[in-house]
Amino acid sequence: MEIEAAHGKLAEAEMEKQDEAVRLSEIGEFGWIRRIARGRRAGRGVVLGIGDDAAVVRPSGGKKRLLITCDPVIEGVHFDSTATDEQIGWKAMMRNVSDLAAMGGEPRWALVSAALPRDFPLRRALAIQRGLDRAARRFGVTIVGGDTARRRGALQITVTALGEAPAREVTTRAGARPGHALFVTGSLGGSRQRKHRTFVPRVTEARFLASRGFASAMMDLSDGLAGDLERLRERSEVGFEIFFEKLPVSAAARRAEVSRAGRVRRAMEDGEDYELVFTTPRSKVARLRREWARRFRLRLTEIGVVREKKFGIRRALAPGWRAASLFPGTIRAAYDHFLVPQSAAGKSGGAARGSRNTRVRPGELRQNARRRAGRRAGR
């Protein structure tokens, strides 16, 4: 025991020494989150802490679970100057509502924290509020409080959203098992055409999937399918085989890209689709399709199958699809707030290492946080 404790202390000291030299641009957003989550114990009433779309807590004396999430929108990062104020408010609310939906929750309450420059026009502040209110009303969310602060430069709106779900309907990223079918709602690759400002989160669809027991694991697509699948894979400890030819490429992405490879790339890489990706046990697939078709007009596509962990993430080869011609370059990994884009990576240390690692072989999408790069403007 004593020896183990000593080892533990040594390891901790070693890790702290390593932390000294590391920059966020080397480990990326998800490396940072992993570091924050490391060794953290669940507190009283905590069912699920850091690492999923929302946290899950158990209020004393109730059968339901409370879901909690918080996400900001920042000028210049999540939207650019062409976004209207109402769109900024809408997006700030809906990003969070989408995360609650992804856990199988019913969105209920929200807090809004707004940081604005001191000379910001009231007219614009009220327009942002209209966007927030409109989004909240759409799914029966009540804004119950928040705060306002002065901030130099870019404006930032942070919404904390709370939702609830019966305990057995809470759906995490961890339930995918080999053999399960992989589905995605709607179509992919529309974010560059401004869809990300006006999207409607799949709350109704997600509640259906969770309450009827169809989704074994679920998450919303915010960073691009390639990167988000990587996160699903990590939590469920599985691999995925993806049918590239079945990916539901959005009309916007089809307009923007002539080649099949380009369209697939958009579907895999474009962030902010805010669709649902989920897995379903094979035995439930036929019933899911039937019930889905009765209820929704939204497209539902089986895009792959869950495999063992060591499989990684690969595409299934289909007739007429030549791997060599499909990806002349690489699939760029998902959006990450901290990893350095390739063009700016320079020569030194981790950044250069990171950029080299973003090259993946055609047909293989094996990445980890260190390898993720690629920054999009105006998000």
39 phi, psi to nearest 5 deg: 70, 10
Positions of E strands within 155-312: 156-166, 181-185, 217-220, 239-242, 276-280, 300-307
Rounded distance between C-alpha atoms, residue 196 and residue 188, angstroms? 11
Residue 68 pairs in a beta bridge with 55, 162
**Interaction with Mg ion in 91-150: which residues (CB under 5 A)?**
99
Nearer to Mg ion, 135 or 345 (CB): 135
228 lies in the binding site for Mg ion (CB under 5 A)? no
Nearer to Mg ion, 78 or 315 (CB): 78
Interaction mask 33-72, Mg ion, x per CB under 5 A:
--------------------x-------------------
Nearer to Mg ion, 216 or 222 (CB): 222
Instruction: Provide the minimum distance between the beta carbon of 150 and Mg ion in the complex, in angstroms, as a whole number.
Output: 30
Nearer to Mg ion, 99 or 270 (CB): 99
Interaction mask 303-342, Mg ion, x per CB under 5 A:
----------------------------------------
Instruction: Provide the minimum distance between the beta carbon of 102 and Mg ion in the complex, in angstroms, as a whole number.
Output: 5
Give me the helices (H) in 167-247, please: 203-211, 225-236
Q: Which of 26, 106, 205, 220 binds Mg ion (CB under 5 A)?
A: 220
Nearer to Mg ion, 96 or 355 (CB): 96
| Number of shown-chain residues binding Mg ion (CB under 5 A) | 4
Instruction: Provide the minimum distance between the beta carbon of 276 and Mg ion in the complex, in angstroms, as a whole number.
Output: 10
Q: Residue 193 corresponds to which tokens in the numbers above?
A: 């055409």
Instruction: Provide the minimum distance between the beta carbon of 228 and Mg ion in the complex, in angstroms, as a whole number.
Output: 8
Contact (Cβ atoms closer than 8 angstroms) between residue 181 and residue 142 = no
Q: Which residue's beta carbon is nearest to the bound Mg ion?
A: 53
Q: Contacts for 176-179 with beta carbons within 8 Å, 24 or more apart?
A: 176/216, 176/217, 176/232, 176/233, 176/236, 176/238, 176/279, 176/306, 177/216, 177/236, 177/238, 177/279, 177/281, 177/306, 178/238, 178/239, 178/306, 178/307, 178/308, 179/281, 179/282, 179/305, 179/306
Given the rule CB under 5 A, which residues bind Mg ion? 53, 99, 220, 222
